[in-house]
Amino acid sequence: MGKLNVTLCGIPLDNPVIPASGTFGYGYEFAELYDINLLGTFSFKGTTREPRYGNPLPRIAECTAGIVNSIGLQNPGVDKVIAEELPKLKKVFHKPVMANVSGFSAEEYVEVIEKLEGEEQIGWYEVNISCPNVKKGGASFGMTPEGAETVTKAVKAVTKKPCIMKLTPNVTDIVSIAKACECAGADGVSLINTMYGMRIDLKTKKPVIANRMGGYSGPATFPVALRMVYQVYEAVKIPIVGIGGVSSAEDAVEMMLAGATAVGVGAANCVDPWASKKIVEDLPRVMEKYGIGSLGDIVGGAH
């Protein structure tokens, strides 16, 4: 049997499969279905300083090859995550977990990380810089190199744990954003977050989602995500978590060949709650089929 293990920012993973933030809750919900310890790790739901109800309903629209969502970072807030969610997670997951952190100012990101810093189970921070910067009129931090650099420097100043910056694809040049993160001290990058999309209801002749537009994810985004991972791998030396439309073990291997050290599985979990488990279990077959002895050896192999 081939070797599935990889190392992400100095922390060993049994395999590279990571359910993506927002599609796996705080983990224990899925632990009712299967032993989630078979995963490499997972990124828990985006956590903010204050509790958030999220955006108005309806906020999900189905598509032929994915979904459009405008959840709006619904979460109970960092204090409740520490007091209630993480203790429940610790009972069912016995590996380091990735904490997805969101904020609407650099100060908010810092405050959330400072509060989470004492949680031993957190191995990495995945810093979502696709959030709108309220001080700059609502544009995402990750849409400019300067914004990405500001948040990266701020969070790196308050933690010694690895910080992986999650990048938005809704930019002209994702490479310049990734390079700015690396120069500011980021330990890794994850890409891509969702793409802008929408649906219109033919009966009402109005947008399906109350917010009109949302984040599009699903199998159709895979070629775009793969291309961006490939480009970023050639520009930076820090590890990449490749996310976007991954729904099979073959997709995971392809993403690693493009340059990803680990692979995020997002929308597939919403279609099939066992999707990540099935990908982990199918990796040995795919590795044997394509003559791969160790997944760690194929990272960036397509370059």
CA atoms of 165 and 100, how far apart (whole Å) = 10
With a CB cutoff of 8 Å and minimum separation 6, the contacts of 146 are 180
Give the Cα separation of 151 and 136 in Å (integer): 13
To the nearest 10°, report the CA torsion of 259, 265, 268, 270: -150
Indicate which residue of 9, 63, 131, 181 is catalytic: 131
Sequential DSSP letters for 211-266: TS-EEEESGGGHHHHHHHHHHHHHH-SS-EEEESS--SHHHHHHHHHHT-SEEEE-
Is beta strand 122-128 parallel, antiparallel or unpaired with respect to 163-166?
parallel
Query: Active site includes 183?
Result: no
Phi then psi dihedrals of residue 211, to 5 deg? -80, 5
Encoding tokens for residue 8? 């992400």
Nearest Cα neighbor of 239 from 22, 13, 38 is: 13
List residues with catalytic annotation.
131
